[in-house]
Amino acid sequence: MVGVEVLTKYFSDFTDHQLQQFKALGTLYPEWNEKINVISRKDIESLYTRHILHSLSIAALIEFQPGTQIIDIGCGGGFPGIPLAIFFPEVSFHMVDSINKKLTVVREISQAIGLTNITVEHTRAEQITNRQFDFVVSRAVTTLKNLWQWGKPLIKKGKEHEIPNGLICLKGGDLAEEVSESGLRPHIYKIDDIFKEPLFEDKFLLHVKKG
């Protein structure tokens, strides 16, 4: 199993505490996955590349400023939110999913590694009406059209970063039809331009700004 070294191959400035947190994920996720299946059995062997490094492609794209507020829609077992919360300890992550047992994994793993910048809510994104965030992040949850429909009302307008506030989502495969159906014009980044790993050949980062 590839370990934390695939992260340090691309990021050189982790603190010792962050490294320990990332290393702990390699034990905690397989243990929790036996109880509550949040990662496919075949993928657990490539946890660090397929899930953790994949999530951190967002950190390679943008350096979130301290105090930034982010919502992870359909966070499942904690991706991309948990790796990003380790990477950005002064940024707040609100983890949302409609399946409560997956949030159990998020809560337990966050607590085990001492993450204090994560909050968890068992709800659907479209039911949140009283809060706004700087960015929505999401990973292969639904179509771009749906994500934007749910996420747009939750995003504050603004540009405190190198890219404007908006939706950042991780997608794979041929996106032409999905982007066309969305009616949006996302900025699309190839992840294998960021991380030279064969797994990322058909993986993309999409950014849609709140206009």
Annotated binding-site ranges: 74, 79, 125-126, 139
CA distances from residue 26 to 56, 123, 207 in whole angstroms, order as listed: 16, 28, 29
Q: Which residues are annotated as a binding site for S-adenosyl-L-methionine?
A: 74, 79, 125-126, 139
**Considering only CA atoms, which of 68, 27, 53 is closest in space to residue 195?**
53
Q: What is the largest CA-CA distance in the chain?
A: 45
